[in-house]
Every structure is written in structure tokens, then in C-alpha cells.
Amino acid sequence: MLVRHACEPALATRRVLVVGVGGLGSPAALALAQAGIGTLGLVDPDPIEISNLHRQLLYESADVGRPKVAVAAERLRRLAPGLRVETWCERFGPGHVALLRGFDCLVDGTDTVAAKFVLNDAALAARVPLVHAGVLGFVAQLMTVVPGASACYRCVFEEPPPPEETPSCQEAGVLGPVVALAGAFQAAEAVRLLVGTTPAWTNRLLRIDAWTGSWRTVPLAPNPRCTACTAIAEHESANAGRSDVP
């Protein structure tokens, strides 16, 4: 459990959106609920499958076929009775920027590279911090995007590769405890952001390799050629002083 007694008063009014309630999103949502977050938003279009159960902590075999967001909401409310849970059984896309503006932090629980670019661009447009993670096999990576203050996902990786070159974690396989660890790290980073403590992974990429037992941190910096950051900066500059522009 995260440091519930120290952080709970500061977190009780905060709202976190978790996109993807699978291997990453399940442990992240669970830890945030136990930490005392006031509201969790859950976005995921998928039903629970048997292949999910070894790495998605909120589900059991009896849940197969039911929407992930519905089951996750039930379990989280049971574990944290004061928690408010809002759900959207749909795929997150560029049209969800307005929804995202109603939250204080975005946690990336998606399992494809393409989805991670969508979340990054939405976080920049909404000016909402993003806690990113990705896992493949025994390797996890994490970084935090604070719009206007740090490197974003697109600053580092620029453009998504062709879909056939980037299998999802379900297609390529992951070790269950690795995604649980990454999801817990995401929750801890979200708590740091929400209570006003300096986040650990802005302008740094953490890479954890459970096979070799190695942890590595790579320094990052905003990319002046980043199309996403440039577009947001130009939009804000063009509309500075206008009250009618979101």
C-alpha cells in the first residue's frame, strides 16, 4: 500500500484517469485507490479474457467476458468504499481531450505503441501530466510527461513504428510481476505529482530488466523539433489572453 496516512488528505479531492485497465492499469488503479485518491476514471473498451488473468490483478476466471471497467469498478469500490469511480467502456482517442481536462493526472495503462502516442498528444493538449509505462517480456520502462516543463513521449520516440514491428504485450508476452511492478511505480509517481512533490521520472526514462536484474535511468530533454510540443506551444501563443479558447 502507498503511504496512505501521509497522503490521503491531500489526495481525497484529486482525480486520476487510468486509460487501459489491464496489466499496468489494474495494479496502478488498485494502489491509487488504496492511497486515498478521491476519484478514479477508468477507460477501456475490452472484455476480460482468460489470457489476461495471469497479469491483471483485479480479475478472476468468473469475470471472463465481462467489461474490464465494470469489474474493476466493482472491486475498487469494495476495497475503498469512499472512492468514486467513473467508467467509459470505449477506446481512448483524440476526441477525449475534453474529458481528460476534468482530471488532475493521466496514467497510461495501454499496451500498444500507437495508443501511447495518442495519450501523449492528448495529455499535451489538455495540459494534464501523464505517467507513462510500457512492458514487453521482462523489460519495463517509465517516464513522466509534465506538459510545457519536460520532454514528452514524442520528444523521445518521435513517431510510432509500423504496427507489424510493434506487437502488443498480449501478442509478445509479458511476465506478470513486471507489469505489476511498473503499475505500482506509476501509482507512486502519480501520488508524487498530486501532492506537489517533484516527480521522479520527468526528463528521465527508467528501464527495468527483470531478466538481467538491471535498472537504468536515461536522461531526457525536450526536443525542439517535437511536433506535438511545438503545436501546443503555437496554439497557446496564438490564443494568449483569449478566454474563449480551451
Three-state SS letters, 42-111:
EECCCECCHHHCCCCCCCCHHHCCCEHHHHHHHHHHHHCCCCEEEEECCCCCHHHHHHHCCCCEEEECCC
pLDDT for the residue numbered 177: 87
Contact in structure between 85 and 73 (CB atoms under 8 Å): yes
Question: Whole-prediction pTM value?
Answer: 0.89
| Closest residue by Cα to residue 41 from 92, 79, 4, 2 | 92
CB neighbours of 34 closer than 8 A, spacing ≥ 6?
Answer: 1, 2, 4, 79, 80
The arithmetic mean of pLDDT across residues 67-77, rounded, is 98
89: cell is 467502456
The residue among 132 and 232 whose pLDDT is bigger is 132
- Please determine, for residue 240, whether its predicted confidence score (pLDDT) is greater than 80: no
Longest dimension (CA), the chain: 54
- Contact between 2 and 192 under an 8 Å Cβ cutoff? The reply is no
Give whole-number Cα distances, 232 to 98, 169, 211, 217, in Å. 15, 30, 39, 28
CA dihedral angle for residue 228, residue 234, residue 235, residue 240, rounded to 10 degrees:
140
Total Cβ atoms within 10 A of residue 188: 18
> Would you place residue 175 in the very low, low, confident or very high pLDDT band (cuts 50, 70, 90)?
confident
- Phi and psi for 73 in degrees, rounded to 5? -60, -40
Domains of the chain: 4-238 (3.40.50.720)
